[in-house]
Amino acid sequence: MNIHEYQAKELFAKHGVATQSGIVVTTAQDAVTATEQIGGTVVIKAQVKTGGRGKAGGVKLATSAAEAGEKAAAILGLDIKGHIVGKVLVTGAADIEQEYYVSYLLDRTNRTFLAMASIEGGMDIEEVAATKPEALAKVHIDPLVGVNAAVAAQIADAAGFPADVRDQVIEMLQKLWDVFVKEDATLVEVNPLV
């Protein structure tokens, strides 16, 4: 199934993957109300089933409830790669020190599962993959073993995750594998992992 970000966050939370909650709204006024409930700076994120939302203007910061309403009004109805935005997710803004990328997918070509990870995550991960393929670690996963601590460590080390976050990444990779398997997914992706 192809799901929205807010639905993915619900699945992640169900499996113990740390994620940030938010409020899904369909009107600018509801974005104002959600921002008042959350407090502080928020991020207004288009909920469409395609990538490139940020570059297309579908992800905006707002420092007040009134600004959140304005930003939501600008995003709602926006056409992002042929997908019309009908919902936005309002979440608290996070203090992001570094953006990483991780995913599991069904590699149909090689008839296996594949983990991909990079310490250069964020909006430009597709460009990183195209122009610096060495910056995107690819690790084949044995379906009989899955992703235990040793395999998660292999993925983290192949991507070059810094020592100060390595243990957290290893734990998160195991939980993401749990999501992948128990939800019978063909792709589980976190971008950015912060």
Is 189 one of the catalytic residues?
A: yes
The residue annotated as part of the active site, out of 70, 99, 171, 189, is 189
Q: Are 35 and 81 in contact (CB under 8 A)?
A: no
Mode of pairing for the β-strands spanning 88-92 and 22-25: antiparallel
DSSP state of 186: S
DSSP state of 109: T
Q: Which residues of 148-177 are buried (b: 16+ CB within 10 A; e: fewer)?
A: eeebbbbbbebbebeeebbeebbbbbbbbb
* Cα-Cα end-to-end distance for the chain: 25
The residue annotated as part of the active site, out of 101, 120, 126, 171, is 101
Q: Are 135 and 118 in contact (CB under 8 A)?
A: yes
Is 101 one of the catalytic residues?
A: yes
Q: Which long-range contacts (CB under 8 A, 24 or more apart) does 36-40 make?
A: 36/65, 38/90, 38/91, 38/92, 39/92, 40/92, 40/93
Which residues are identified as catalytic? 101, 189
